[in-house]
Each structure stands twice: as C-alpha cells, then as structure tokens.
Amino acid sequence: MFYSGILTEPGRKEVEIREAASLRQQRRMKQAVQFIHKDSADLLPLDGLKKLGTSKDTQPHNILQKRLMETNLSKFRGSRAPKDLSSQTNKLNQTKLGSSGKTEDEELIVVSCQCAGKELKAVVDTGSQHNLMSSACLDRLGLKEHLKALPVEEEMVSLPNKVKAIGQIEGLSLTVGAVPVECAALVVEDNDQPFSFGLQTLKSLKCVINMEKHHLVLGQMDREEIPFVGVDSAEAGE
C-alpha cells in the first residue's frame, strides 16, 4: 500500500544523511576552489614572503626555487673566495718581496778599496760579524792559492742570507782610502756581494757611518772620510 507525500521514519533519516553528505562535499569543493585561487605564499613558513598576486614568478614554488639558486650561488662564491684571496695575497707578498729586495739593494753602503793591486768594491755589512769574500772575487784577485780550510770551531758559524763558508783567507791586505787594513775573511759560494766588511773589522777601525753626509769615518790613529759609492759601481767591480 502506497502513501503519497508521506515518508516513513527510516526514509526520512536516509534523506537527511544524503543531504548532509552532499553539503559536506560542496563545502570541501568550495574550500579547494578557494585554496587554488588564493595566493598561498602567506600560508607557508617563509620569512619575508608576502602576497604577491597570481603571477607565476610570485608563486611559492618559484620563490623557493629562486631562493635556493641564490643560496647555492652564495655558497659557490664563498668556497672560491678563500682561494682567490690566497692567490691575491701571494701576488701581493711577491710584489712586496720584490720591491723590498730592490730597496735593500739601493740602501747598501758600498766603499771603494784596493786589494792585491786591484780595485774592489766592499759592502759595509753590520749584520755580519765576519768579513765575507765570494769565491768568484777570490779568483779575480788571484788569491785562490791562499785559501785555507775552516777551523772546526768555524765550520758551524752562522752567516747571513744562508750562505755557506767553504774556507777562509788570512792576512788579507786592503787599503781603504789611505787607511791600510789587515784582516781575515771567510770565503763563501754563490754570494751576490764580492766582498763585505763585518762588524769585527769595522769595530777595530773605529768606523763611524755618517748617513747624512754619505761617508765613513775610520782609522785608529789618523781618521779619514771614505765616501760611499753606488750599488751599480759595486756590481761592476766584481
């Protein structure tokens, strides 16, 4: 038997369940549509991001990709920076060393003297205790036959510029200006300076270095002024 327009209790509950399910589905669809059209950059935990519209360049995934590329680029530059800095530092140090070496050469104190009948340019070296003569200078002066072996106590002597003594020459006679000088010298290999006076001889001559007037004052009894000569002249005197 059918009753028009009248729903039984079970039928009414079924309709309500269907309507509730349909309503929930509509709400979910509405929320999904809203999320798609809404700029979601402000929903992500990203500092400094703002709503930037719907352009592709301003979407969260594009922003993240851009930031990732910037971070990687910064790391790459950071990894190269120490090497570049080290390279620049090395170049700067080499430039400084080259310029300082040139300055040291320009500041050498050189005087002219006579030895074995030949002119000799001698460097005044207050950084060494000993007089030093290069083996090339020894040959040029014809004094090679006077070369003697070093005493045991002199074999371990410390010399400037890491030069190595190969022997010594005693009773060396020089004339500086009009002042006669009797001294000994250590003979060294590969020395850029042909001959140099050390502190022992300079003290014995009561040497005074006058940088203002560019001369030496020396002599135990009769004092004499010995003018400096140029470095180029000293090199030519080898």
Over residues 124-173, the pLDDT tens digits come to 999 889 999 999 999 999 999 999 998 776 666 777 777 888 899 999 99
Task: Report whether pLDDT(196) > 50.
Answer: yes
pTM exceeding 0.75: no
* Distance between CA atoms of residues 104 and 125, nearest Å: 12
As separate numbers, helices (DSSP H) first and strands (DSSP E) second, the chain gives 5, 9
Task: Report whether pLDDT(189) > 60.
Answer: yes
**pLDDT, average across residues 190-196:** 82
State the pLDDT at residue 219: 85
- 27 confidence band (pLDDT: 50, 70, 90): confident
- 84 confidence band (pLDDT: 50, 70, 90): low
Question: What percentage of the chain has pLDDT greater than the value 90?
Answer: 37
State the pLDDT at residue 1: 46
State the pLDDT at residue 234: 46
Over residues 44-67, the pLDDT tens digits come to 555 544 555 555 555 566 676 777
Give just the sign of the alpha carbon dihedral 200, 206, 210, 216.
Answer: negative
Instruction: Share the mean pLDDT of the chain.
Output: 75
Domains of the chain (ranges, CATH numbers): 16-107 (no CATH), 110-236 (2.40.70.10)
- 99 confidence band (pLDDT: 50, 70, 90): very low
Q: How far is CA 35 from the centre of its chain?
A: 59
The candidate with the shortest Cα–Cα distance to 66, out of 81, 80, 52, is 52
Distances (CA, A) of 100 to 87, 93, 97, 122, 231: 20, 10, 5, 22, 15
